[in-house]
Amino acid sequence: MIRSDDAARAGRELRSRYTPADLSVFTPEEAGRFAPDGRGDPRTNPVLAWELVYRLEPELYDRLVTAELLHPGIVDWLPRMTDRIVEVGAGTGRLTMKLVNRAREVVAVEPAMPLRAILQRKLDEASCGDLVRVVHGFFDELPLPDDYAELVVACSAFTPDPAHGGNAGLAEMERVCMPAGCVAIIWPNNLDWLADNGYRYVRFSGPMSVEFASHEEAVELSQVFYPRAVDEIRRRGLRRVPFDIIGFNPPRDLAFKTLPR
Ligand SMILES: C[S@@+](CC[C@H](N)C(=O)[O-])C[C@H]1O[C@@H](n2cnc3c(N)ncnc32)[C@H](O)[C@@H]1O
């Protein structure tokens, strides 16, 4: 059955998919961070629109990140075997699923309940539900003790904006990281800010594309998430879409800090 909300949104790009009325989906904790005083308009604030897609259309979001693969160099760079790893803003597990078997325990912190549900389902389907603990939390309020993990990582989630990390979030990630452990920000969006905070930078080279399951899916998802690329994707009949057509930097880099002993 097609629900009326789904029908109204069909084919619409992210910035015109939701209205201020949709902000009612936020819990009070989420609203306090993402839409203080109940204010904000997802039609003019793309960051807010992303927060709504996580909660209103999580399966659509998961289809996007399933196609938008990380550079394999990133996962190779991360420690191979540790006692504990914490991932913050784990989403539906684009990175989390690669961290399984790299630690005795992985804790995946994710505020959006619908994304946690998809991640838990994937873990259960892969029979690794007991290796990963999926928990609710935010960058600035991690539900974990000091010095908990050797690696504390965020992938496509941390920004200098206090709602999505900021100074308080960075301090929390470092609090939870053990002495001599590593805090890593994958696909960072503000290198100067991270460098000012003592983070070093690594970038992996080579061509990168978004690997959709079919040309039809490339068109459907690009209409929502990469609207400026749709005409070119149609014209070339693409299933695999190079990032230069999409028009933003691919997930091929990270910033990291090794904490003092
Ligand atoms: C672009 S998604 C990336 C998800 C996943 N890490 C991946 O790479 O597919 C951003 C994620 O950050 C989460 N997020 C947003 N604000 C957050 C906050 N203040 N604290 C923790 N996570 C947050 C979102 O719920 C979402 O799962």
Cβ atoms 249, 203 nearer than 8 A = no
Helix crossing, 58-67 with 46-56: angle to 10°? 110
Indicate which residue's Cα is closest to atom 17 of ligand 1: 164
Rounded mean pLDDT of the chain?
Answer: 95
219 pLDDT more than 90 = yes
Distance 237 CA to ligand 1 centre (A): 31
pLDDT digits (tens, 9 = 90+) for 183-201: 999 999 999 999 999 999 9
β-strand partners of 87: 108, 153
pTM here is 0.96
164 touches ligand 1 (CB under 6 Å): yes
Sign of CA dihedral 31, 36, 37, 40: negative
- Confidence band of 1 (pLDDT split at 50, 70, 90): very low
Cβ burial 182-194 (10 Å sphere, 16+ → b, else e): bbbbbbbeeeebb
Question: What is the distance between the alpha carbons of residues 168 and 141, in angstroms, rounded to a whole number?
Answer: 9
Amino acid at the residue 155: C
Task: Indicate the top mutation candidate among 29, 65, 92 to test ligand 1's pocket, ranked by most ligand atoms within 8 A of CB.
Answer: 65
How many CB atoms within 10 Å of residue 61? 24
- Binned at pLDDT 50, 70 and 90, residue 38 comes out as confident
Check residue 4 and give its pLDDT.
Answer: 62
Pocket test for ligand 1, best of 115, 135, 167 (most atoms within 8 A of CB): 115
> Strands 200-203, 253-258: parallel, antiparallel or unpaired by DSSP?
antiparallel
Q: Which atom of ligand 1 is nearest to the CA of 112?
A: 25
- Using an 8 Å Cβ cutoff, are 186 and 254 in contact? yes
List of residues 6+ apart from 12 with CB closer than 8 A: 223, 224
Q: Residue 173 pLDDT more than 90?
A: yes
pLDDT at residue number 208: 97
Over residues 159-182, the mean pLDDT reads: 98
